[in-house]
Amino acid sequence: MFTVVERRPISEELAQAAERWITQHGLAEEVDEGWLELVCEDGEVFTADKLLLHLAVPPCEVSPGDSVDVGRTRAVAELWPDADAPPDAVPRQLALACAFEHHDDQWVGTCELPKPIRDLFTVERPDAVLAVMNATRRTLGRGAMSISGDPDGRLSFSVAMGPITAWGSTEAQVAEAFTYWLDAGPATELAAPLKGATRVVGSLGGRPDLIVANEEGVEARCVLDQEDRPAPVQLPRDYFENQAQGPVEGLRVDRQGGLGRDALVAIANLRPGDVTFAVADDASLVISGGSDDAATFTLAGPGFATLGERPNAPIVVPYEVALAVYDGAAGGTVELTVDAQWGRLHRADHRITVQWVR
């Protein structure tokens, strides 16, 4: 329970922080000059010499000394003292209460988000969903991410960045088919309710947004992208066997412990250019930039094998695909196949497929 120590007109910095939060979460409230800023403390952490809570509330008759329940308010920012601030200045946590009412000798601040309008999926193994989502997103690192549900029992993620697309999927209970797009960066927020949970429900919000909540009430929301995007189409499973354009080259990496940090450094040094993989006659893996005068890195075998029609043929892939080879090899087998038009990578650990146009 907090105590109001000061009532003042709302400051510009608190008003702006509250407005940003309201806009981000699609609420209709508007913070104007009639709102109040309550400076509050709790007698423990939030004290005048440690940290103070600055709460934005609508106009009301609250007074210094009143008790305030802030359990359902929302933190909107934290401000630290400037370098030239007085020695006794303390950090300030800024919070928002869109509703502020008096009940049973105390004030209760709340900031409720809209309820979900439709359940999309339920998962009983949130750890598997988190692993697949993170691995799929990390494969390309940025771009647009889709989440889709198949009533046959699959929850799938895809990330598209230019000519490269990555897919991953896991088991889930899905009532009806759906596909929604969101930015792969903000999608990292969805990880919080998946960590350590035993059951998670994904729902559609009215903003529209994707709402993910676990059995403990931990919730994350991510605004959906309203751009009309065509769903990326995966190559047929037998494409390279029956429909390939020109010679087919392939590489399998199956090495205990993966490629190692030195290989990652070698790949990173080639950014943003293409990366060439080749299996040498002694079964070692050679990583290079492709040109005759480019630096090369050699990783001793075993664990590397040629799959294509020409033994030891070099395979040139985009930098992002080379990172996916490294990332996937740390957890299991990685297979890389290309022809003149297409490339495809499959990593066994999370059943992730990466496809690109050459």
pLDDT per residue as tens digits for the range 69-93: 999 999 999 999 888 888 888 899 9
Predicted local confidence at residue 191, as pLDDT: 86
Look at residues 179, 165, 167 and name the one whose alpha carbon lies nearest to residue 121: 179
* Buried/exposed 103-113: b ≥16 CB within 10 Å, e otherwise: eeeebbbebeb
The DSSP element (H or E) to which 113 belongs, if any, is none
Q: Return d(Cα 160, Cα 151) in angstroms, integer.
A: 23
Predicted local confidence at residue 13, as pLDDT: 95
Q: Return d(Cα 140, Cα 145) in angstroms, integer.
A: 10
Predicted local confidence at residue 133, as pLDDT: 87
Look at residues 129, 142, 138, 111 and name the one whose alpha carbon lies nearest to residue 212: 129
**Phi, psi dihedrals of residue 324, rounded to the nearest 5°:** -65, -35
Q: Return d(Cα 147, Cα 156) in angstroms, integer.
A: 6
Q: Return d(Cα 305, Cα 323) in angstroms, integer.
A: 19
Predicted local confidence at residue 217, as pLDDT: 86
Tokens of 113: 């988000």
Report DSSP state, residue 308: S
Predicted local confidence at residue 291, as pLDDT: 66
Tokens of 122: 């339920």
Q: What is the mean pLDDT of each run of 10 residues along the chain (358 residues)?
A: 96 95 84 96 90 96 96 93 85 96 94 89 93 82 84 92 90 94 73 92 90 91 80 89 92 94 93 92 91 80 86 88 92 94 92 92
Instruction: Indicate if the alpha-carbon torsion angle 252, 258, 262, 264 is positive or negative.
Output: positive
> Using one digit for the tens of pLDDT, what is the confidence trace for 114-172?
888 999 999 999 999 998 888 887 777 677 889 999 999 999 999 888 889 999 999 99
Half-sphere CA count of 17, side-chain side, radius 13 A: 22
Q: Return d(Cα 253, Cα 264) in angstroms, integer.
A: 14
| Cis preceding linkage at 59, omega within 30 | no
Work out the number of other CB atoms within 10 angstroms of the CB of residue 59: 11
Predicted local confidence at residue 141, as pLDDT: 67
Predicted local confidence at residue 187, as pLDDT: 65
Q: Return d(Cα 242, Cα 239) in angstroms, integer.
A: 5
The SS3 of residue 167 is strand
Predicted local confidence at residue 222, as pLDDT: 85
For residue 241, give Cα distances in angstroms to 174, 236, 279, 284. 33, 10, 22, 26
Compute the chain's Rg from CA coordinates. 27
Residue 222, amino acid: C
Predicted local confidence at residue 232, as pLDDT: 79
Tokens of 233: 């189409």
Question: How many degrees, rounded to 5, is the angle at CA 21 between CA 215 and CA 219?
Answer: 5
For residue 188, give Cα distances in angstroms to 3, 141, 145, 185. 35, 11, 11, 6
Q: What whole-number percentage of the chain has pLDDT above 70?
A: 97
Predicted local confidence at residue 29, as pLDDT: 87
Instruction: Enumerate residues 6+ apart whose C-beta is below 8 A from 270.
Output: 287, 288, 289, 294, 319, 322
Query: Is pTM, for the whole model, over 0.85?
Result: no
Report DSSP state, residue 189: G
Question: How many degrees, rounded to 5, is the angle at CA 258 between CA 253 and CA 262?
Answer: 110
319-329 vs 261-268: helix crossing angle, rounded to 10:
170
Which domains, ranges and CATH numbers included, belong to the chain?
A: 2-110 (no CATH), 118-223 (3.10.150.10), 239-357 (3.10.150.10)
